[in-house]
Amino acid sequence: MIHRYRGVVHFALLIFCAITLLTGCRKTSPEEKETPARKYSIYAMMKNGKEYILQADSLASGEINPERAGARVVPAPLYYDLIVRDGRYYSVDRRTGSFVRYKVANGEFVRDTAIALKGISSLENYNWLTRDSLMIMGYDDKARAVGYAKIRVSDLTVSQGTMPIPAPFGGYNWLSIGFSQFLDNKLYIGYCYHTYALNNYTTGDTIYTAVLEYPQLKTLKILKDTRSVYPGGVNTRQSHSFVTENGDFYFIACPGIASGNYPEKPTGIFRIRHSKEEIDSDYFFNISASPIQNHGYGFWYVGNGKAIVRTERKGLYTGMKDHYKVPHFDFYLLDLEKQTTSRLPLPLDKGTVRQCVLVEDGIAHITVSSGNEGCYVWQFNPATGSLKKGLKLSDDTEYILRLERLNE
């Protein structure tokens, strides 16, 4: 049975269950033939609880059965902390403190190779520095510091260090990294502090953003804002921020019970103007005060000043004990400049955190795990408003947990 996770690692109250990452897959032997990568990767959970990674070349139509077409993930789950690139899959193994590369070979999801990490047992944010170079970061409780690792994924060589993010202070005993973004040769790190106890936590009332000189990682300034809390979220799980065509950076703050757990604060969208190095004090898109009237989490850019946000609907769930399994999520199209909202006429979705929107060639592919109405990849054209069903996953599918391109 999937259950709620209130871990002290991220404080993102997750959709399904406490994470035990994939470490038991066997090594790939030299005679194994690797499966050629296709265009898209889909991670699905079936009604029997089994999980599969499958690959497809089209999302526009057809039907696919994950059990028949996919590679089973054993042991599971791996759907939170997964990075997909160039036909490969990567994650941090929390139990061993190692960075692991996976692949699909001979119809199985297999562990390819791994490298040890120091001080990074949790993965909160990542950025690709080059095609072959990945930067990951997360809070290290033992060192009371934000650690990072730069990894060359072709041969898994690594260099590590810490970032000058102030440690928890006063009554706070944890820190969450909510976004990391390179802008104008600077690295912006959004974070917040928590006070946690067994099975519960609270988030401080301030969003912090450190502006770091890069690559020196020297602090230039620290920005503060109290209009909402918990900036962004773990970006392996879903998108919470983006940069628009004109270089403006937007991020969502998530104080709802499934993330910041400070529901008195509104879900809000913030902006940092191109080359300004300040959070725009004149801009705050208050989602909770808009016609949405609820908290939201995932946030995806679809182009031309428009974005999609995934929001709770109050009254359809009773608390975190059924938050992941009850269809109650809506998708809204936002006009970021006009601060207007328009609900997409999709079935109610379920699953607290999902990598469920992929934008490509002007089309937003939106996965919906609706319960009674099935699991589909919907095709939404924000320019025309056209919305139609695309690829269907077989009726024994419970959740579409992840959708992403295999090759960026």
**CATH number of the domain that residue 309 is part of:** 2.130.10.10
Give the pLDDT band of residue 1 (cuts 50, 70, 90).
very low
**What span, in angstroms and rounded, lies between the C-alpha atoms of 187 and 219?**
10
- What's the DSSP call for residue 315? T
**Backbone torsions φ then ψ of 66, nearest 5 degrees:** -60, -35
34-47 pLDDT tens trace: 555 689 999 999 99
Q: Assess if residue 16 is contained within a domain.
A: no
Lowest mean pLDDT among 55-69, 88-102, 250-264: 88-102
Question: Do the Cβ atoms of 292 and 340 come closer than 8 Å?
Answer: no
Cα torsion through 241, 243, 248, 254, rounded to 10: 0
pLDDT at 29: 42
Q: Assess if residue 69 is contained within a domain.
A: yes
Q: Assess if residue 13 is contained within a domain.
A: no
Question: Do the Cβ atoms of 356 and 309 come closer than 8 Å?
Answer: no
pLDDT at 302: 98
**Backbone torsions φ then ψ of 69, nearest 5 degrees:** -100, -10
The answer to whether residue 73 scores a pLDDT higher than 70 is yes
Cis peptide before 66 (omega within 30 of 0): no
Q: Assess if residue 140 is contained within a domain.
A: yes
Q: Assess if residue 51 is contained within a domain.
A: yes
**What span, in angstroms and rounded, lies between the C-alpha atoms of 381 and 74?**
36
pLDDT at 283: 98
| Structural domain range at position 178 | 40-405
What's at 310, amino acid-wise?
R
**What span, in angstroms and rounded, lies between the C-alpha atoms of 319 and 313?**
12
Q: Assess if residue 72 is contained within a domain.
A: yes
pLDDT at 34: 54
Q: Assess if residue 326 is contained within a domain.
A: yes
By CB atoms closer than 10 A (0-12, 13-18, 19+), residue 69 is middle
Quote the number of domains for the chain.
1
**What span, in angstroms and rounded, lies between the C-alpha atoms of 236 and 94?**
14
112-151 pLDDT tens trace: 999 999 988 789 999 999 999 999 999 998 999 999 999 9
pLDDT at 200: 85
**Are β-strands 387-393 and 63-64 bridged in parallel, bridged antiparallel, or unpaired?**
parallel
151-191 pLDDT tens trace: 999 999 999 999 999 999 999 999 999 999 999 999 999 99
Give the pLDDT band of residue 198 (cuts 50, 70, 90).
confident
Give pTM, 2 decimals. Answer: 0.90
Cα torsion through 300, 301, 305, 308, rounded to 10: -30
Q: Assess if residue 325 is contained within a domain.
A: yes
Q: For the residues 44-66, what does the mean pLDDT come to?
A: 96
Cis peptide before 215 (omega within 30 of 0): yes
The answer to whether residue 14 scores a pLDDT higher than 60 is no
